[in-house]
Structure 1
Amino acid sequence: MNASATTAPDAHQRAAMRRAWIGFCALVFGNFMAILDIQIVASSLNELQAGMSASSSEIAWVQTSYLIAEVIAIPLSGYLSRMMSTRVYFVLSAVGFAFASLMCAMAWSLPSLLVFRTIQGFLGGGMIPTTMAALFMLFPPEKRMGPIVLVSMASTLAPAVGPTLGGYLTNYFSWHWMFLVNLPPALLISSIVWSYLDQIDKPDWKLWHIIDWSGLVSMGLFLGCLEFALDEGPRHDWFSERSVLLATITGTLSAIFFFWRSFTSLNPIVNLRVFANRNFAVGSVISFVVGVSLYGMVYLIPLFLGQVRHFNSLQIGETMMVMGVAMFITAPWIGRLSAKMDTRVLVGIGLVIASFGVWLNSHMTSAAGPEDLFWPQILRGVGLMCAMIVMSQLALSTLPLTEMKNGSALFNLTRNIGGAIGLACINTIMDWRFAFHWQHLAALTDPARAPVQAMLAGSGAAMQGELGGQSGAAAIALLQQKIRLQATTLAFNDMTMLLSGLILSVLLLLPLIQKVQAPAAPSPDSH
C-alpha cells in the first residue's frame, strides 16, 4: 500500500519532468532559430543584394531593420509574457516568425522585404529571453544546470554556425532558402510548446489596461535610435550624417524619459530595479563584454577571410564552424564542473581562456588561413561557453521568481546591446587603424625610394609580356593592393588585441559576485 502510494507520485513527477523537458527543448530551439537568423542573412548579403537589385547601403537595412525590432522586443517580452502567459506569447511569436519568414522569401521589392524583416525581428526577439525565464519556472534549483547548458549553447552556437548554414544555403540553393528554412521548425516548436507547456503560468490580462504607454514609446525610441545610430554611424562618419545625429539626439532624450518612467511608474514596462541585485548587475556587465567579443569576432574573422584571403561565404562558414563544434563538445563538461567548484573561479577561467584565444588572432599575416584560426577558435569557443553558462546561473538565480521574466529579458538585452556597441566601435577603430597603417606603409613604399623602384621594375618586367606598355601601371596597382592587404591585416591584429584586453578587464569584477550554491550537475535521470 505504502509502496504503491510512493510510486504513484514518483511516476507523476517523472511524467511532469518529461513534459517539461520536451517543451523546454522546443523553447531552446526557438531561441536558437531567432539568433541564427541574424548570422544566416549576414553571411549572404551579397547574394541578397543581387536578388533585390539593391545598393550595398540599401541592403544593409535588411540587417538593421531586424536588429532594431529585435532589440525593442527583448525587454518588452517580460511584460508581454506576463500578460499573455509564456505559452501563448511564445507560440504567437513562433507562428508569427514563421509567417514573416515566408513573406521575406516571397518579398517582391526591397521595401517589402524590410517590412517583413522588421516583423520577423520583433517576433524573433520575443522568443529569446522567454526561454531563460521559463527555465527557472520549469525546473527546481537542483535540476537547472542541464537546461542552463542548453540555453547557453543555443545563444553562443547560433552566431558560430550561422555563417556556415547561410553559405551552404545560398551556394547550393538560393537566398530565398535563408528564410524558408525557418518554416518547418517554427511550426513544429509552436505545436510542441502549446501541447506540453500548458501549466507553466497563467495570463494576467489586467496588465493590458495598465500599460505604461509613454514608457513603452520612449523605450522603443531609445533602443531603436541607439541601434540605428550604432549600425549606420560607422558607415557615414558618425555625426556628419544628419540621420545619425538626429537619431542620437532623439535616442538620448527618449532614454532620459524612459529611465525616469522606469523608476517612478507604479507599473513600469521594464523594471530596472533588478539591477540593485549585485550578482545580476555584475553578470549583466560581463554579459555585455561577452556580447562585444562574441559578435565582434564572428564579424572580424569573416571580414578578414573575405577581404584578405578572398574566401567565399561557404569557405568562411566552414572555417567558423570550428568554434561551434568546440562549444557543443565542451558545454556538458562545463555544466558538470560548475557543480564541483566555485562558479566565480570557473567564470574567471573561461574569460582567461577566451581572452587567450582572441589574443592568438592578433599575430596574423595576410597569408593566414583556416589552420592558423583552428586553435584560437577552439579556445575562444570553450572560454566563451564557460563564461556564459556559469554567468547566466550566477546572474539570474538570485532574483525572485516574480522578476525572472523581466530579469531574463534585461540580461539578454545586455548581450545584444554589447554586440551592437561592439560592432560600431570595431568598425570605427578598424577604419582608424587601417588609415594609420596605410599611411605608414605608403611612406615605406614611396616610389621615389630606390628599393621600391627596383621592386616595381621587377614586377613590371614580369608582366611586360602580357600587358606591354601597361605593365608599369599594373605594377603600381599591385603594390597598392599589397599595401591594402597588409594594412587590413594589421588593423585586424590591433582590434583583436584590444578585444583580448577587454575580456581580461572584467576579471576585476569577479570579486564583487556573491557565491551562489551551484546546482547539481545534470544526471541521466534528470534528462
Structure 2
Amino acid sequence: MSGAGVQAAALPPAALPDGLTLAGKIVAFSTMCLGMFIALLDIQIVSASLKDIGGGLSAGSDETVWVQTAYLIAEIIVIPLSGWLAHVLSTRWLFCFSAVGFTFSSLLCGSAWNIQSMILFRAMQGFLGGSMIPLVFTTAFVFFNGKQRVIAAATIGGIASLAPTMGPTVGGWITDNDSWHGLFYVNLLPGTLVAVTVPLLVKIDRPNLSLLRGADYLGIVLLAVFLGCLEYTLEEGPRWNWFSDRTLTATAWISAVAGILFIWRTLTYARPIVDLRALKERNFALGCFFSFIVGVGMFSTIYLTPLFLGQVRGFSALQIGWAIFSTGVFQLLAIPLYAYCANRIDLRWLLLVGLAGFALSMWTFMPITHDWGAKELLLPQAFRGLSQQFAVAPVVTLSLGSLPPERLKMASGLFNLMRNLGGAIGIAWCATLINDRANVHFFRLAESLTAPNEAMNGLLETLQSRFIAFGDDTATAATAALKTLWSLTYREALTMTFGDTFMDIMLCFLLACILVPLMHNTAKGAVPSAEH
C-alpha cells in the first residue's frame, strides 16, 4: 500500500452527522470565524503600537520588533500541523483548546512585566491560537454546499484579508484611547465566547488518540526547525544585511537542510503530518501558489503603507489607522458583490479579476508623493480592498474544493501556510528593497545638487535666512540649511523607493494572472468523492 493509502486508512471518518439546523450551522461557523478573525487580527494589531509597547516595557526597537516576530514564527509553525492535530483531537476540541490557549496567553501578554516575558507570551499566543485559522476552512466545506458554500468561502476570504488589514487601525485606536495593554485584553471576551460555543455546536468528527502512536515526531521537529529558522531569517535579514551576519547565515543553512529533510521524510513516511501529495492536484498546487502571491501583496502593502505614513508623513498610530481604514471598508462592500457573482460566473474569471485588480491597485500606488495622506490613498486602497476579496475567496473554493473530504484538514494547513509564507517573504523583500533602493535614489538625486543648480541655491538661501531669523549665526544657519536639504532629499528618495516597491508587487500579480487559465473549474457546491 502506498504512503497515501496507509494514511487514508489510518484516519478517522471524514465527517459525522452534526445534527445541526442551518441556523445552528451558521451560528457555529460564525463563532469559528470570530476565532479566526482575532487570531489573524493579532498579527498586525501591534504593528502601529510597537513604540508604545517598547516604552512601557523599557525596551529598545531591536527588542520590541520581536513582539511581532515571535507571534509570526509560532503561528507559521503550528498552521501546517493543525490538520494532523485535528485528526488526533477532533476539530471541535482542537479549536476549543486553541481558543482557550489564545485567550489565556492574551491575558499574559497584557500583564507582561518586561520585554522578555512579552516575547514569550506572544510566542505562546501565536502557537496556541494559530490552529483556529485553517480549521475554519475545512469546517465550511463540511457544513455547507452549493450557494451556501460560496457565501461561506466569501466570508472566509473576507476575514483572511480583512483582519490583518484592520490590525493597525484597531491597534492604533486602542493604544490612543486606552493603552497598549488593551491590544491584548480586547481578545478576552471573544476568545471566551469561542471556547465555550464551539465544543457545543461543532461535532463533525471524532478524536483519534491512537494516531499519537507511530506519529512522525521527527517530521514535526524538522518542520518546526525549517519554518522557525526561515521566519527568523526573513524577519531579521533586512535589519542585519542578510548573509553578512553569521547568525543569519547559520539559520538560513539550518532552514534549508531541515526543509530538504522534511520533504524527504514526508514523502517517504507512511503517515506524514503534512499532505504534500495533495500538490499533485493541479488546482490545489496552483491555489497554493496564488495563496502565496496574495500573501505577498496583502501583507506587503499592510507593511508598506503604515511605514510610508510614519516615516515620510510623520503620522501617529491613530492617524495611520484611519488613513488605511478605507481598505477594510471597500473589502466589506465587496463581500455581497462577490457572493452574487460567484453563483453566476466561472470562479476562474473572478480570480482573474481579483489578481488583475490588485495589480491595478499597485499601479495606482506607484505615483505616490511625499504629501500623500488618507485622501490620496482612498482610490488605490479602494481598488485593493475590492480586489482582495475577489483574489482570496475563489482560491479557497477552487483549491480545497478539488480535494476529497478526508484530505481537507491536512491540505488546509498547507494552503494557509503558503499565504503566511508569502507574507513573510514579501515583507522581508520589501524591507530589503527600501534599504537598498533608497540609497540608490538618494545618490542619484544628490548628483544633481551641485553649485550650478539655481533652484537648490535659492532653497538654501531661503532656509539659511529663516534660521538666521530664529537667532542662529551665519555658520550655524548654513549647517542647518544643509541638514534640511539632506532630509528633504532623503524624503524624496524614500518616496520614490515606495513607488518602486509597489511596482514590483504589481509585476508579481501580473505573473499570477497568466497562470489562472491553467486551473480547472470545480462544480459549484460539489463535494469530491473519496475516490477522487
TM over 0.5: yes
Match of residue 65, structure 1, among 59, 64, 70: 70
Cα distance in 1 for partners of 2:30, 2:133 equals: 13
CA distance 1:13–1:79, shift in 2 (3 Å):
closer
* Kept in 1: contact 2:100–2:191 (CA 8 A): yes
Alpha-carbon distance in structure 1 between the residues aligned to 2:310 and 2:239? 18
SS at match of 2:79: helix
1:113 aligns with 118
Quick one: which of 491, 495, 505 aligns to 1:485? 491
The whole-number CA distance in structure 2 between the counterparts of 1:141 and 1:400 is 16
Q: Secondary structure at the match of 2:369?
A: coil
SS at match of 2:161: helix
Q: 2:505 aligns with which of 499, 507, 527?
A: 499
In the alignment, is residue 28 of structure 1 matched against residue 33 of structure 2? Answer: yes
- Residue 186 (structure 2) pairs with residue 213 (structure 1): no
Q: Does 1:431 align with 2:435?
A: yes
One-letter amino acid matched to 1:286:
F
Partner of 2:46, secondary structure, is: helix
Q: Could you tell me which residue of structure 2 aligns to residue 264 of structure 1? A: 268
Residue 123 of structure 1 corresponds to 128
Greater displacement, 382-391 / 465-474 = 465-474
* Corresponding residue number in structure 2 for 1:509: 515
Superposed displacement of residue 21, structure 1? 1.2
Residue 90 of structure 2 corresponds to which residue in structure 1?
A: 85
Report how far residue 468 of structure 1 moved. Answer: 2.1
For residues 288 and 336 of structure 1, the distance between their equivalents in structure 2, rounded to whole angstroms, comes to: 26
- 1:303 matched to 2:307: yes
Normalising to structure 2: TM-score of the pair?
A: 0.93
Instruction: Tell me, yes or no, if structure 1 residue 146 matches structure 2 residue 151.
Output: yes
TM-superposed deviation, 1:453:
3.1
1:361 aligns with 2:369: no
| SS of match in other structure, 1:475 | helix
User: Structure 2: which amino acid aligns with 1:166?
Assistant: G
Deviation at residue 64 of structure 1 after TM alignment: 1.1
What is the distance in 2 between the residues matched to 1:233 and 1:408?
A: 29
Q: Could you say which residue in structure 2 is the equivalent of 1:104?
A: 109
For residue 232 of structure 1, what is the aligned residue in structure 2? 236
Cross-structure match for 1:398: 402
Distance in 2 (CA, whole Å) between partners of 1:178 and 1:246 is 34
1:343–1:518 contact (8 Å) kept in structure 2: no
Q: Secondary structure at the residue paired with 1:185?
A: helix
In structure 1, list runs of 5 or more residues that go unmatched. 1-11, 521-527
Q: Does the CA contact (< 8 Å) of 1:274 and 1:407 recur in 2?
A: yes
How far residue 388 of structure 1 moved from its aligned partner, in angstroms, is 0.6
Aligned residues: 508
What whole-Å deviation, never above 9, does each CA across 1:482-513 have from its counterpart, x for those lacking one?
A: 01110110000011111111111111111210
Listed as ranges, the matches of 1:128-527 within 5 Å are 128-197=133-202, 199-446=203-450, 449=453, 451-469=455-473, 470-519=476-525
Q: How far apart, in 1, do the equivalents of 2:65 and 2:462 lie?
A: 42
User: TM-score scaled to structure 1, two decimals?
Assistant: 0.94
Q: What letter matches 2:332 in structure 1?
A: F
SS in 1 for 2:238: helix
Q: 4+ residue stretches of structure 1 with deviation over 3 A? A: 12-15, 446-451
Taking the aligned partners of 1:299 and 1:403, their CA distance within structure 2 comes to 34
Displacement, 1:169? 0.7
Q: How far 1:125 moved relative to its partner?
A: 1.1
Q: d(CA) in 2 for partners of 1:352 and 1:207?
A: 44
1:4 alignment counterpart: none
Question: Is the 2:274–2:411 Cα contact (8 Å) retained in structure 1?
Answer: no
Q: Is the 8 A contact 1:97 1:186 kept in 2?
A: yes
Hey, what's the Cα distance between the residues in 2 that align with 1:110 and 1:481? Answer: 32
CA contact (8 A) 1:278 1:513 kept: yes
Which letter does structure 2 place at the counterpart of 1:370?
A
Give distance in 1, aligned partners of 2:291 and 2:93. Answer: 28
Query: What is the DSSP-based 3-state SS (H/G/I as helix, E as strand, rest coil) of the residue aligned with 1:234?
Result: coil
Letter matched to residue 516 of structure 1: T
Task: Answer whether contact 2:145 2:525 (CA < 8 A) is retained.
Answer: no
**CA offset digits 1:301-326 (Å, max 9, x no partner):** 11111111111110111111101010
Is contact 1:293–1:419 with CA below 8 Å preserved after alignment? yes
Counterpart Cα distance in 2 of 1:163 and 1:113? 19
Letter in 2 for 1:134: T
User: Residue 35 of structure 1 contacts residue 159 of structure 1 at CA under 8 Å; is this kept in 2?
Assistant: yes
Superposed displacement of residue 429, structure 1: 1.2
| Code of the aligned partner of 2:486 | Q
